[in-house]
Amino acid sequence: MIISRPDDSGIKRAAEIIRSGGLVSFPTETVYGLGADALNPIAVARIFEAKGRPFFDPLIVHVSNIGMASGLVQGFPDRAGLLAERFWPGPLTIVLPKTGLVPDIVTSGLPTVAIRMPDHRVALDLIDFSGVPIAAPSANPFGYLSPTKAEHVMVQLGGRIDMILDGGPCRVGVESTVLKIHGDSVTLLRPGGLGMEEITDLIGPVEWGAGPEVESPGQLPYHYSPDSPVRIVEAIREEDLQIKNAGFLFFKKPGFPYPAGSSEILSDDGDLLVAASRLFSCLHRLDKSGKKIILAEAVSEKGLGLAIMDRLIKASRRVRNETE
């Protein structure tokens, strides 16, 4: 396994690995991805194997330009075009009917494919140098916290992949917002790095959830979980600090003294952008210290707060079970 700086020669080497069917972890603005040539079914199978990801969970295909996306989908309905024009590159994934070019393993046999253009120079260069779209889930073992730094990938998947491009910490810190566009309706499959307010301002109302059956495994209850159980509280109170062997995830700096060694503060003054960018790192650190419980403060579900709460709620519902 090679860890490389994301300069031209590092990215070119990574592109060769992608072209020859290998696995490269690369930074995006949201989280680190685990990439393979999206058009090579064997390479894509390696992603599932490395992550221990069930084959029913489809992958996002990353593109560097609209032309590349056009070959993968049957067309861009008006609203998809508007969204892509406004928010790509950026933390938005659009699910659309696919063409025959996209192997079934990428979409878990679904007739649709999830496409995203990441807002990160390294990711875009890697796609360009590879000359193929890159299928990439977040670079974590299935169900565990997403990686926002190269070292997270290294610790979790180091022995199972060919290369990591180390581009430093991810700017946004939570995964992309996933929207499905079908006929006349637009459905939110996963809240994420692009706030819903910005989306509805542009295209009007969006339906929530995928309906009765779980269509997007980002909706599974046990995603994004640390090993230590998480309990969400309205606010961490001074007396909570007495709880034995607990870790504390504060949304803002508390007005009372707190134990530095077992506390993480998402943002000094409650800024949601800062909080989102630090969420997984803070949870990684608390989890590493092997706490019996992690108390996490709720945040308001506005803007990025919706994605933060979604990740916390899923972490708190953790049932590490047979599928992992």
* Positions in the binding site for ligand TXA (CB under 6 A): 28, 30-31, 33, 57-60, 93, 95, 107, 110, 112-114, 116, 118, 136-138, 175-176, 178, 189-190, 215-218
Taking Cα atoms as reference points, which of 132, 61, 124, 114 lies closest to residue 89? 124
Distance CA 68, CA 85 (A): 14
The site partner of 28 among Mg ion, ligand TXA, none (C-beta below 5 to 8 Å per kind) is ligand TXA
Residues with Cβ < 8 Å from 263, sequence gap 6 or more?
247, 248, 249, 250
Q: In what order do the strands lie in the sheet with 246-250?
A: 230-233, 293-297, 246-250, 263-265
Cα torsion for 159, 160, 163, 166, to the nearest 10°? -70
- Considering the complex, what minimum distance in angstroms separates the CB of residue 239 from Mg ion? 36
- Give the SS3 label for residue 264: strand
Q: Can you read off the two tokens belonging to residue 300?
A: 């308001």
Cβ proximity to Mg ion: between 236 and 309 the closer is 309
Cβ proximity to ligand TXA: between 110 and 274 the closer is 110
Cβ proximity to ligand TXA: between 112 and 225 the closer is 112
Distance CA 282, CA 95 (A): 30
Applying CB under 5 A, does 138 fall inside the site for Mg ion?
A: yes
The site partner of 130 among ligand TXA, Mg ion, none (C-beta below 5 to 8 Å per kind) is none
| CB-based closest residue to Mg ion | 138
Taking Cα atoms as reference points, which of 270, 269, 250 lies closest to residue 259? 250
Cβ proximity to ligand TXA: between 143 and 247 the closer is 143
- Considering the complex, what minimum distance in angstroms separates the CB of residue 246 from ligand TXA? 29
Whether residue 246 contacts residue 293, with contact meaning beta carbons closer than 8 Å, is answered with yes
- Considering the complex, what minimum distance in angstroms separates the CB of residue 130 from ligand TXA? 15
Q: Can you read off the two tokens belonging to residue 215?
A: 């269509």
Taking Cα atoms as reference points, which of 252, 240, 230, 254 lies closest to residue 311? 230
- In Å, how far are 66, 116, 256 from 62, measured between CA atoms? 11, 5, 45
The site partner of 297 among ligand TXA, Mg ion, none (C-beta below 5 to 8 Å per kind) is none
- Considering the complex, what minimum distance in angstroms separates the CB of residue 324 from ligand TXA? 14
Distance CA 63, CA 114 (A): 11
- Considering the complex, what minimum distance in angstroms separates the CB of residue 26 from ligand TXA? 8
Interface region with Mg ion, contact rule CB under 5 A, candidates 97-105, 121-129, 134-142, 257-265: 134-142
- Considering the complex, what minimum distance in angstroms separates the CB of residue 309 from ligand TXA? 17
- Considering the complex, what minimum distance in angstroms separates the CB of residue 52 from ligand TXA? 13
Applying CB under 5 A, does 156 fall inside the site for Mg ion?
A: no
Cβ proximity to ligand TXA: between 38 and 59 the closer is 59
Which residues from 180-209 bind Mg ion, rule CB under 5 A? none
The site partner of 228 among Mg ion, ligand TXA, none (C-beta below 5 to 8 Å per kind) is none
- Applying CB under 5 A, what is the total number of residues that bind Mg ion? 1
Give the residues lining the site for Mg ion (CB under 5 A).
138
